Amino acid sequence: GWRVQHNNVLGPYKGGIRFHPASNLDEVKALAALMTWKTSLMGLPYGGAKGAVRVNPHELSERELEAVSRAYIRAVKDHIGPDRDIPAPDVGTNAQVMDWMADEYGKLTVKPEPAAFTGKSIEKGGSQGREPATGFGGFVVLREFLKIQDTRYKIRDTPIIAIQGFGNVGSYIAKYLSKDGFRVVAVSDSKGALYEPEGINIEKLAHEKEMRGIIDRGLCYAVSGHGRPCQTFSNEDLLTLPVDILIPAALEGVITGKNAAGIRAKVVLEMANGPVTPEADTILEKRGVAVIPDILANGGGVVGSYFEWIQSLDQKYWSEEVVLGKIEEKMKEAFARVAEAKKEYNVNWREAAYVYAINRVANSMI
Ligand code: GLU
């Protein structure tokens, strides 16, 4: 396992811990740097860090998972803390893992330190709205983008959407979008994708997934109400469907130099961290596809964490409505900053986000 601390000029290090069988040090370093730019862009008083354990959490028993979580904290205890480095969930970890970690940390410091972790369960001092925060933030950013979109993207009034990944991030953004009238036609998990051109009933699908732990590939739950055998295919094929907006919400490096030419969406909303490789970025830009970068699109997670941290420090708790309202405001501000930098420097969305994020860090280092 690893914990990488990239930069802390703006405040304590902040970033998730992932449990994934393919994690490695280089990946964690890259993700830690992304957190520095993300917290800077979001206007938070944090630096950037990331952690990982190379393990497949789905192959572990609950007891083993708890043992791994606690052992990780024993190893990094001297480097974390509420004003030093504040971990959170990421791919393959969740509120339960954070609760075990916070408990272990509290034992080691001989007093409870709930503000040393975010993404905790509500019972253990977590925040209302932290669980949907990343998906909700992405939904807010997409709506802001559509308000000012360039006519060249020619997006339908009811935009058609494909989402890769149906974990915490993918399932919540799917829910917010479909509630708001967007048509989500395809979703996937690590085992494959399903496609219903009429639009998928996301509420039903999410409920099924909660009950069984996997996406049911037998029925598609069309919005029209009837369940019929759905079209199933690979995660890779989902990327090239004829949709308006493509949302990679799983892992990094999925849109590459090899498949970017086949992307038919006009907008890619990066809800995963680093899903588009630099080669793919160049190809998409040439083809006029707008890529809304991860450090903006998925910033809602760490913004939600920030509000949890404040509540944990103060021992005062807010309602979900209040928290989501605060997240919405922060996302809109961040979007406006990026849109302004984009205009001023005449660059793409990713470059504009980096201009702002890097400047804020650099100015604090002088
Ligand atoms: N893992 C999330 C991210 O990549 C959240 C990090 C946090 O809340 O610290 O942004």
Q: What's the 309 CA to ligand 1 centre distance in angstroms?
A: 13
Amino acid at 54: R
The predicted pLDDT at position 155 comes to: 75
DSSP code string of 211-248 = HHSS--SS---BTTS---PPEEE-HHHHTTSS-SEEEE
The predicted pLDDT at position 191 comes to: 84
Average confidence (pLDDT) over 288-296: 97
Nearest residue by C-alpha to atom 9 in ligand 1: 15
The predicted pLDDT at position 225 comes to: 65
| pLDDT digit string, tens, across residues 157-211 | 789 999 999 999 999 999 999 999 999 999 998 888 989 888 999 988 888 888 8
SS3 324: helix
Average confidence (pLDDT) over 150-158: 73
> Which ligand 1 atom lies nearest to the CA of residue 298?
10
**pLDDT band per the 50, 70, 90 thresholds, residue 213:** confident
**pLDDT band per the 50, 70, 90 thresholds, residue 122:** very high
> Which ligand 1 atom lies nearest to the CA of residue 306?
8
Q: What's the 93 CA to ligand 1 centre distance in angstroms?
A: 11
pLDDT at 111 exceeding the cut of 90: yes
> Is the CB of 168 inside a 6 Å radius of any atom of ligand 1?
no
The predicted pLDDT at position 90 comes to: 97
Name which of 152, 134, 124 is nearest 311 in CA terms: 124
Average confidence (pLDDT) over 234-255: 95
The predicted pLDDT at position 226 comes to: 63
> Which ligand 1 atom lies nearest to the CA of residue 89?
1
pLDDT at 315 exceeding the cut of 80: yes
> Is the CB of 199 inside a 6 Å radius of any atom of ligand 1?
no
Supply 47's token pair: 């630096």
The predicted pLDDT at position 219 comes to: 62
Task: Name 40's Cβ contacts closer than 8 Å, sequence gap at least 6.
Answer: 10, 356, 357, 358, 360, 361
Give bridge partners of residue 81 from the DSSP assignment: 85
> Is the CB of 311 inside a 6 Å radius of any atom of ligand 1?
no
The predicted pLDDT at position 102 comes to: 98
Q: What's the 92 CA to ligand 1 centre distance in angstroms?
A: 12
Supply 178's token pair: 């479909």
Give bridge partners of residue 184 from the DSSP assignment: 161
Share of the chain above pLDDT 70, in %: 96
> Is the CB of 47 inside a 6 Å radius of any atom of ligand 1?
no
pLDDT at 141 exceeding the cut of 70: yes
pLDDT at 297 exceeding the cut of 90: yes
**pLDDT band per the 50, 70, 90 thresholds, residue 212:** confident
Q: What's the 168 CA to ligand 1 centre distance in angstroms?
A: 12
> Which ligand 1 atom lies nearest to the CA of residue 118?
8
Task: Name 247's Cβ contacts closer than 8 Å, sequence gap at least 6.
Answer: 138, 161, 162, 163, 164, 170, 173, 268, 269, 271
Q: Alpha-carbon distance 226 to 223, whole Å?
A: 8
The predicted pLDDT at position 287 comes to: 96
Helices (H), the chain: 25-41, 62-76, 95-109, 133-148, 168-179, 202-212, 235-238, 278-286, 294-297, 300-314, 320-345, 349-365
pLDDT at 29 exceeding the cut of 80: yes
Question: Active-site positions?
Answer: 50
> Is the CB of 138 inside a 6 Å radius of any atom of ligand 1?
no
> Is the CB of 90 inside a 6 Å radius of any atom of ligand 1?
yes
Supply φ then ψ for residue 83, to 5 degrees: -120, 20
The predicted pLDDT at position 108 comes to: 97
**pLDDT band per the 50, 70, 90 thresholds, residue 48:** very high
Report field, pTM of the whole predicted structure over 0.85: yes
Name which of 1, 9, 12 is nearest 79 in CA terms: 12
> Which ligand 1 atom lies nearest to the CA of residue 119?
8
Q: What's the 66 CA to ligand 1 centre distance in angstroms?
A: 21
Are 121 and 108 in contact, with CB atoms under 8 Å apart?
Answer: no
The predicted pLDDT at position 209 comes to: 83
> Is the CB of 16 inside a 6 Å radius of any atom of ligand 1?
yes
> Is the CB of 302 inside a 6 Å radius of any atom of ligand 1?
yes
The predicted pLDDT at position 357 comes to: 98
Q: What's the 294 CA to ligand 1 centre distance in angstroms?
A: 11
Give bridge partners of residue 222 from the DSSP assignment: 200
Average confidence (pLDDT) over 146-155: 76
